[in-house]
Amino acid sequence: MKNIFAAFDLGGSYLKYGMGTADTLIQFDSRIAVESSDKQYLYSLFTQAFSDMKSHLSKDEIIAGACIGSPGTANSKTGKIEGVNPNLPEWTGANPVKALQSSWGIPIYLDNDANLMTYGEYSAYPKADSMLGITIGTGIGSGFVTRNQIFHGSTYSALEVGHTIVVKDGLLCNCGKKGCAEAYGSANSIIRVMSAKFPSLQKANIKDVLDKALVDKSMKVQLEHLLSLLAIAIANAVTILNPAILIIGGGVADIDSFPFSYLEKEILENLMIEHKRSLLINQAKYGNKAAILGGIILAETRNHYQKKYNIDSL
């Protein structure tokens, strides 16, 4: 039988899922709309997605492991979701690993969604020393992979680049602090600030805002101001970590009218020459499926190590 690995990417609007291996990459994927952050409801959604994947297996394939990607602090050791989840408030305290592992009968791993996005993108550059991944979406996510390992920090909350402060006593952020990069550069923040300043943008979604800023000079100036603050946070993270590659992805960065080259220019302007010279900046190669791919590869890698050494080595 051939071992296939399943991955889930939970967000505020959709549960995306897919299966494959590090060799085949994503061989099947789909998504289900998320209508509540209730733990039992979300557990049942995961099981529905798992059944859908099983129904798409060939006769000689089995799902041998799964990885769940979640926003917020995802404790990979305990399987528990900790901290604050503004887009999925009731999800905090959930333990999808404990809740689902025995009924599914396979090992389940958990990690942060932006960590998995970075891990998925890193697989395209297997010789790279390190990669910093930034996702610009409803919020700002970030992950750091070095020598094929995700860096978690002592309490699984490392790489909160979006919650580094770029304006003293600035706008209130979802995390409770003031002046975080996320309070300026996330989709929700861009919409909030732009629609307050430009009445024609009231009720606009993020794509409308980005599209209109392409043709309206004063909107463009305001949008660039917001992105320049996000660029400071990203440049600070690059200055601290000195990654070989910086990947920028997420739902907002994927929109055609997103001014990627402006953000790139601003990041480079805030870097020292050594960092600037060595850094490769790219858009996410696997787009909004990068976290699924990262989850598939992580589940396969951890399964392999657990079988070989009978330990949890990553």
The structure tokens 């302007």 sit at 269
For 173, which DSSP code? P
The angle formed by the CA atoms of residues 300, 289 and 106, to the nearest 5 degrees, is 30
Q: Residues 53, 67, 94, 173: which binds Zn ion (CB under 5 A)?
A: 173
Nearer to Zn ion, 54 or 177 (CB): 177
> Is residue 163 part of the contact set for Zn ion (CB under 5 A)?
yes
Residues forming beta bridges with residue 314, ordered by sequence position: none
Taking the complex as a whole, how short is the minimal distance between the CB of residue 164 and Zn ion, in angstroms?
8
Is residue 171 close enough to count as binding Zn ion by CB under 5 A? no
Q: Which residues pair with 109 in a beta bridge?
A: 67
Q: Least distance to Zn ion from the beta carbon of 149, Å?
A: 26
> Among the candidate windows 76-84, 179-187, 227-235, 296-304, which touches Zn ion by CB under 5 A?
179-187
Output the smallest distance, CB 190 to Zn ion, in A: 15
Size of the site for Zn ion (CB under 5 A): 5
Taking the complex as a whole, the smallest distance from the CB of residue 177 to Zn ion amounts, in Å, to 5
Query: Of 139 and 243, which has the nearer Cβ to Zn ion?
Result: 139
Q: Can residue 230 be called a binding residue for Zn ion (CB under 5 A)?
A: no
DSSP sequence for 254-281: TSTTS-HHHHHHHHHHTS-HHHHHH-EE
- Using CB atoms within 10 Å of the CB of residue 61, give its burial: 0 to 12 exposed, 13 to 18 middle, 19+ buried: middle
Please name the amino acid found at residue 177. K
**Residues in contact with 207: Cβ distance below 8 Å, sequence separation at least 6, in sequence order:** 255, 257
Give kind and range of the element (H or E) at residue 135: strand 130-136
Among 124, 175, 255, 268, binds Zn ion (CB under 5 A): 175
Choose one: 21-29, 168-176, 194-202, 242-250; the region binding Zn ion (CB under 5 A). 168-176
How many angstroms separate the CA atoms of 275 and 238, rounded?
A: 7
**3-state DSSP assignment of residue 226:** helix
Quote the least distance from Cβ 174 to Zn ion, whole Å: 6
Is residue 180 involved in binding Zn ion (CB under 5 A)?
yes
Q: Confirm or reject binding of residue 165 to Zn ion (CB under 5 A).
A: no
Contacting residues toward Zn ion, per CB under 5 A:
163, 173, 175, 177, 180
